[in-house]
């Protein structure tokens, strides 16, 4: 997205200069260069990431009696050998969910891991099924896994998780995702009256350099995608395009007054 905007500004600049609008063309050329360096060298990317990721811890403050750790998907990939595996950005989330599961079980409470994610990458295997294999290898028994394999995006993660949580009777919900993704995820889950404690599976930072790097541009894209998702949610609410919001009296876990 950052590179696309750079190229768009550059094309506008060249078109303006082609039609002898040299001053306007130079302005757009300058904007393109400033945008590329501001994002690619770190300052813009650092600000975007810091604002999104602040306040999310890697652990849980307190466990309940019936706990559900919701692991949100981050995609899958087909390896060179043809196997379907978790994507690079999924591994931190999977490891964190397994760590939390062990910490939860150590308290003597009832603990489940819900893996939420369908076949968003169209590889003919749902994220939930793929991640379940990794969790099993990390010591999470299949009996303690709840698989939600239909959702194709974060909003559906929340929507399709609701009946599973109600059926189980969770009194504690923990939401595990990348720190950069948690703000949007919490917003969507709140829409369905799911109030989980956010826990980050990974945390990324910008690398400050004199020249633009692809890593910074990639992280800037991730951050902008999250901000757009938050704005889109608000727009869809105004337009009535979102699924109906679940009232707070049906909150999960139940609220006590």
Per-residue pLDDT 10s for the chain (257 aa) are 777 777 777 788 888 887 778 788 888 888 888 888 889 999 999 999 999 999 999 999 999 999 999 999 999 999 988 899 999 989 999 999 999 999 999 999 999 999 999 999 999 999 999 999 999 999 999 999 999 999 999 999 999 999 999 999 999 999 999 999 999 999 999 999 999 999 999 999 999 999 999 999 999 999 999 999 999 999 999 999 999 999 999 999 987 54
- CATH code for the part of the protein at 56-206+242-250: 3.40.50.620
- pLDDT value for 195: 96
Measured CA to CA, the distance from residue 23 to residue 51 in angstroms comes to 35
CA torsion angle for 253, 255, 176, 216 (degrees, to 10)? 150
Residues whose CB falls within 8 Å of the CB of residue 96, separated by 6 or more in sequence, listed in order: 58, 176, 199, 200, 201, 202
Give the pLDDT of residue 256. 57
For 135, phi then psi, to 5°, come to: -65, -40
Q: CA quadruple 184, 188, 190, 191: dihedral positive or negative? A: positive
Q: Please state whether the predicted TM-score (pTM) of the whole model is above 0.85.
A: yes
3-state helix, strand, coil in the chain (%, to 5): 55, 15, 35
SS3 state of residue 162: helix
Q: How far apart are CA 32 and CA 17, in angstroms?
A: 14
Q: What is the pLDDT of residue 257?
A: 46
Q: Which residues, other chains included, contact 17 with Cβ-Cβ below 8 Å and sequence gap of 6+?
A: 25, 26, 29
Rounded to an integer, what distance in angstroms lies between the CA atom of residue 62 and that of residue 97?
Answer: 15
User: What pLDDT is attached to residue 227?
Assistant: 95
Cβ within 8 Å of residue 95, ≥6 positions away: 138, 201
For 159, what's the count of Cα atoms within 13 Å in the CB-facing half-sphere? 12
Domain ranges, ordered by start, for the chain: 2-52+210-231, 56-206+242-250
């Amino acid at each position: 997205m950052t590179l696309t905007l750079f190229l768009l500004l550059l094309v506008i600049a060249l078109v303006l200069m082609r039609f002898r609008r040299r001053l306007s063309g130079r302005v757009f050329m300058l904007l393109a260069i400033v945008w590329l360096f501001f994002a690619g060298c770190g300052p813009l990317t650092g600000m975007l990431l810091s604002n999104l990721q602040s306040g999310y811890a890697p652990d849980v403050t307190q466990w309940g009696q019936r706990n559900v750790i919701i692991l949100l998907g981050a995609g899958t990939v087909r390896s060179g050998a043809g196997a379907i595996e978790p994507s690079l950005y999924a591994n931190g989330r999977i490891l964190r969910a397994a760590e939390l599961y062990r910490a939860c079980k150590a308290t003597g409470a009832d603990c489940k891991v819900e893996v939420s994610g369908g076949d968003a990458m169209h590889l003919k295997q749902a994220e939930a099924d793929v991640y379940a294999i990794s969790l099993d290898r990390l010591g999470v028994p299949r009996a303690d896994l709840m698989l939600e394999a239909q959702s194709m995006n974060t909003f559906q993660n929340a929507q399709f998780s609701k009946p599973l949580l109600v059926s189980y009777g969770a009194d504690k919900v923990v939401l595990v995702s990348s720190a950069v993704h948690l703000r949007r995820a919490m917003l969507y889950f709140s829409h369905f009256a799911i109030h989980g404690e956010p826990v980050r599976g990974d945390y990324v930072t910008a690398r400050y350099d004199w020249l633009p790097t692809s890593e910074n541009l990639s992280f800037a894209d991730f951050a902008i995608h999250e901000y757009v998702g938050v704005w889109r949610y608000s727009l869809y609410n105004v337009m009535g395009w979102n699924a109906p919001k679940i009232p707070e009296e049906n909150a999960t876990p139940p609220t006590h007054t």
